[in-house]
């Protein structure tokens, strides 16, 4: 399934912090919906994500395929983010990747994780600043 290959390429591009490689996997109008950041276009989301972290490591734990939508796949990741201040943040999450059949690129990502996990790492006001800018 090509969706799984796209997901593998996404994981590699994130780990390399290569914005161009990440964005080449998305349709021009692709959207991302994530805790804290909310809903935004894929470009803005990834610029913000990669800018805020010195290193991003996405470790794949599980793969789940949709029953009714063959062009959707969910991956269970353990994310390790090394912030620019050296603080290391580890969060487990699920990313649901929806693929545009005609372009074979991602059209939508839904990221699911418990944002309260971040409270272990950041004071409340820092979590608010992460979401605002």
3-state secondary structure 97-109: EEEECCCCEEEEE
Please give the Cα distance from 107 to 25 (Å, whole number): 9
Confidence tier at 122 by pLDDT (50, 70, 90): low
Q: Which pLDDT tens digit goes with each residue over 96-120?
A: 999 888 889 999 999 998 877 777 6
Rg of the chain taking only CA atoms, in angstroms: 14
Residue among 48, 59, 45, 13 nearest 110 (CA): 45
Give residue 133's pLDDT.
Answer: 41
**C-beta atoms surrounding 64 within 10 Å:** 12
Q: Which pLDDT tens digit goes with each residue over 10-34?
A: 988 988 889 999 999 999 999 999 8
Give residue 69's pLDDT.
Answer: 63
Which pTM value belongs to this model? 0.80
| 3-state SS, residue 88 | strand
The domains located in the chain, with CATH, are: 2-132 (3.10.450.50)
Residue among 88, 100, 92, 109 nearest 22 (CA): 109
The backbone region for 66, taken as left when phi is positive above 0, alpha when psi lies in -120 to 50, beta otherwise, is beta
């Amino acid at each position: 399934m090509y969706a799984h290959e796209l997901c593998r390429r996404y994981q590699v591009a994130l780990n390399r912090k290569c914005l161009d490689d990440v964005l080449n996997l998305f349709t021009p109008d692709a959207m991302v919906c994530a805790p804290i950041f909310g809903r935004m276009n894929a470009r803005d989301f990834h610029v913000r994500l990669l800018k805020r972290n010195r290193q991003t490591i996405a470790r794949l734990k599980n793969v789940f395929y949709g029953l009714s939508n063959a062009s959707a796949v969910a991956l269970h990741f353990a994310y390790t983010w090394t912030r620019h201040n050296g603080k290391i943040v580890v969060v487990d999450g699920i990313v649901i990747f929806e693929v545009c059949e005609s372009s074979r690129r991602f059209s939508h990502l839904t990221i699911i994780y418990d944002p309260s996990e971040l409270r272990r790492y950041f004071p409340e006001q820092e979590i608010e600043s992460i979401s605002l800018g």
